[in-house]
Structure 1
Amino acid sequence: MASEAMDLSGGCQCGAVRYRVTGEVGYPHLCHCRMCQKASGNFFLPLIGAAKEDFQWTRGEPSWFHSSKPVRRGFCGNCGTPLAFETVGDDYIAFTHGSLDEVAAVIPVEQSGVEGRVPFYAELFTLSETHSNRDDLPGGIGDVAATNRQHPDHETENWSCEAT
């Protein structure tokens, strides 16, 4: 399980739930199983493991959903961000790669649950690319930036999560 000692932090989009990992992380992977697809609302769910003794919730606590008898998934009850995957009774917890403050700090090493991988996955990287200008929104990207309620990608002593 263990790979490299790290000091990582992360949390949900609104900042109500934050965590810190101080220790070894392991098995950073992309899970393609249907349950992870549903839990993330995406084609796959990137996860990273850590010993529970090296993982702490530093602000708030996640809400939990038992997606099966042995597995529960943690998410922010306020904004819905998927945050964790835990096998009940295990000494390890998996946290979502995308919830890290520094996403690029850990590189995935494997893809699992490939039997559920969407057939067009290999073609995703051949799609044309554009930068988002959000001309479809009143005020465009400027309005998005000016009204951004997303928690910054670093620890904050105080943060007020505004829900609408």
Structure 2
Amino acid sequence: MTKRPITGGCQCGAVRYRIEQELTNPHLCHCRMCQKAAGNYFMPLAGARREDIVITRGEPGWFHSSDIVRRGFCRDCGTPLFFDDVTRDGMAVTLGSLDDPSRYKPVSEDSVESRVSFVAEWAGARQKVTEDDFSAHEIKAIRDSNHQHPDRDTDVWPMEDDSG
């Protein structure tokens, strides 16, 4: 019996990928960065080793949401595709960008301390707070190097550095 290929891509088809292993840890992330990156209340993700994710068409754009995390997306249509913690060996793909998103049911909800109050708990999924997934050092590195626009209007962008 042949294993079904794991493939996916963006909405317009400019970026396509194939994953050469089964995905691990399908989950919903509720952190504020994932909310903004998805334009949604949470981001569905699952991981693979970086070398097992093969881009088969086009090239994703990348945005460093912090110094240690970059997010891959289609430059043409804006579809979020990847979450890459550059300090680790793996990378995550957005489950909605899979050709068969029903293949992976989330097993946990992460960063539940940021879950929007009217979004119900996913039945049967582990509920994890941010500290369950990242060390205090990683959380500090992300917080201290946050490149995300604040949740308010600003007169200047990018914001000027006040530290100097």
Query: TM-score, normalized by length of structure 1?
Result: 0.70
Equivalent in the alignment of 2:8? 10
The answer as to whether partners of 1:6 and 1:22 remain within 8 angstroms in 2 is no
Aligned counterpart in structure 2 of residue 91 of structure 1, from 89, 92, 100: 89
Aligned counterpart in structure 1 of residue 40 of structure 2, from 39, 42, 63: 42
Aligned counterpart in structure 2 of residue 71 of structure 1, from 69, 72, 75: 69
The percent of aligned pairs where both chains have the same amino acid is 61
| Unpaired runs of at least 5, structure 2 | 122-164
| Unpaired runs of at least 5, structure 1 | 124-164
Deviation of 1:120 (Å)? 0.4
CA shift digits 1:41-79 (9 cap, x unpaired): 000000010011211010011000000110000000000
In structure 2, how many angstroms separate the alpha carbons of the residues matched to 1:46 and 1:21?
A: 17
Which amino acid in the other structure matches residue 70 of structure 2?
R
In structure 2, how many angstroms separate the alpha carbons of the residues matched to 1:29 and 1:122?
A: 15
CA shift digits 1:81-137 (9 cap, x unpaired): 0000001142211000000000111111100010110000129xxxxxxxxxxxxxx
Report how many residues are paired.
121
In structure 1, how many angstroms separate the alpha carbons of the residues matched to 2:89 and 2:63?
A: 19
Query: TM-score, normalized by length of structure 2?
Result: 0.70
Segments of 4+ in structure 1 off by > 4 A?
Answer: none
The answer as to whether partners of 1:6 and 1:21 remain within 8 angstroms in 2 is no
The answer as to whether partners of 1:6 and 1:23 remain within 8 angstroms in 2 is no
